[in-house]
């Protein structure tokens, strides 16, 4: 295992630009907030809340996909970067296909994701669009020749999302429990985005613990060759059970991908949700939240108070009663139904958030 270490001087340059206008942005933080962010200049050191990146194999993202690290100045000066404004300040989530056969609990799962994004991107509105079936998208699909599971074509889904994107959208993201592929020559893809259009589509299928096992329930029993346009094959198709681990992984991938919509590139500074990942084991190593440098990027784009954001995230994790979201369009009979929110897998993040808030309050 190798540890990616950057000098304090290099991390300081990545966090605080010497350009007067950008230095002023950093100066707008309170003294306590600046002290908290500067705790990220010593990742892994005693008392630091931030950790360095660890590389476990040559298949890890940083090794396999060399990229130029994006410091705050490069982020801010990116001419293609999009920032929410008064007319485009809503994140829309579009579910595609079934999210399970457990009725209201699967509806609640999607609303938990919405509520988590609302806390993560504190200050922006996050809304669910009415769910659509695979057939409504009119997308192409196939059976994967090696894993024998159904897959849907990302390009067709992005074209569908473009038509569905509301006028006040900062971005729209499609989520599905069905595996994806970007073109015939590829085996699969976790997701695909068009950052210039503020759109992306992502699958949670491979975040099921059993996806890579021979007993995976999503493998088609017969060697079916479904005809294009015959969407009956998706009726009753397997979706993974809602577990704490699946919820944790889903929160990670949706916030990581929406983070890219703000122009935040893969993080190479320290352990961070914005690190790239090539495989599930690497994705599981990523923390649930941002490093100090990427937090500065998102804060400048959105404008939240750091402590308010951490409080919102902690509230989401500690909301044991898990009342249904009061999002627009929730039907009246849902309001009387509650489900246990399975946040056991979030315990490490919960403790980290409390430590962050303690540090900010002391400051």
Q: Where in the chain is the domain with CATH 3.40.390?
A: 90-257
pLDDT in tens, 129-154: 999 999 999 999 999 988 889 999 99
- Asked if 227 contacts 135 with a C-beta cutoff of 8 angstroms, the reply is no
pTM: 0.91
Residues 299, 123: Cα–Cα separation, whole Å: 10
Q: Which fold has domain 90-257?
A: Collagenase (Catalytic Domain) (3.40.390)
- Burial of residue 215 (number of CB atoms within 10 Å: 0-12, 13-18, 19+): exposed
At residue 105 the predicted structure's pLDDT band, cuts being 50, 70 and 90, is low
The H-or-E segment that residue 53 falls in is: strand 53-55
Residues 125, 132: Cα–Cα separation, whole Å: 21
- Classified as helix, coil or strand, 217 is coil
For residue 277, the model assigns a pLDDT of 84
- For 288, what's the count of Cα atoms within 13 Å in the CB-facing half-sphere? 24
Angle ∠(227,228,230) on CA atoms, nearest 5: 70
pLDDT in tens, 153-192: 999 999 999 999 999 999 999 999 999 999 999 999 888 9
Q: Which two tokens stand for residue 163?
A: 């038509």
At residue 103 the predicted structure's pLDDT band, cuts being 50, 70 and 90, is low
For residue 147, the model assigns a pLDDT of 87
Q: Which two tokens stand for residue 51?
A: 């950790």
pLDDT in tens, 330-352: 444 444 456 789 999 999 999 99
Could you give the residue numbers annotated as active site? 257
For residue 327, the model assigns a pLDDT of 41
- Per the DSSP assignment, residues forming a β-bridge with 203 are 176
């Amino acid at each position: 295992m190798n540890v990616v270490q950057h000098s304090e001087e290099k991390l300081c340059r990545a966090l605080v630009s010497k350009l007067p206008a950008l230095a002023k942005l950093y100066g707008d933080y309170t003294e306590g907030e600046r002290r908290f962010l500067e705790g990220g200049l010593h990742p892994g050191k005693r008392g630091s809340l931030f950790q360095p990146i660890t590389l476990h194999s040559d298949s890890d993202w940083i090794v396999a996909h060399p990229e130029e690290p994006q410091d705050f100045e490069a982020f801010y000066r990116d001419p293609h970067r999009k920032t929410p404004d008064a007319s485009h300040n809503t994140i829309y989530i579009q579910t595609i296909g079934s999210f399970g056969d457990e009725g209201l609990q699967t509806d609640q799962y999607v609303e938990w994701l919405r509520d988590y994004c609302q806390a993560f991107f504190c200050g922006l509105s996050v809304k669910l669009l009415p769910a659509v079936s695979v057939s409504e998208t009119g997308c192409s699909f196939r059976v994967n020749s090696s894993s024998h599971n159904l897959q849907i074509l990302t390009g067709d889904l992005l074209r569908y999302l473009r038509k569905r994107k509301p006028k006040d959208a900062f971005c729209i993201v499609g989520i599905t429990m069905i595996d994806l592929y970007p073109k015939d020559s590829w085996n699969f893809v976790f997701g695909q985005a068009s950052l210039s259009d503020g759109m992306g589509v992502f699958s949670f299928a491979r975040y099921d613990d059993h996806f890579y096992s021979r007993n995976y329930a999503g493998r088609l029993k017969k060697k079916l060759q479904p005809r294009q346009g015959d969407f009956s094959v998706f009726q009753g198709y397997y979706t993974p059970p809602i577990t704490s681990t699946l919820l944790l992984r889903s929160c990670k991938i949706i916030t990581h991908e929406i983070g890219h919509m703000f122009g935040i590139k893969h993080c190479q500074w320290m352990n961070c949700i914005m690190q790239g990942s090539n495989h599930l084991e690497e994705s599981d190593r990523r923390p649930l939240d941002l490093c100090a440098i990427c937090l500065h990027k998102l804060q400048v784009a959105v404008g939240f108070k750091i402590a308010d954001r951490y409080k919102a995230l902690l509230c989401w994790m500690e909301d044991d009663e898990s009342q249904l979201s009061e999002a627009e369009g929730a039907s009246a009979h849902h309001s009387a139904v509650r489900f246990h929110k399975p946040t056991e897998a979030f315990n490490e993040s919960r403790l980290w958030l409390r430590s962050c808030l303690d540090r900010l309050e002391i400051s």
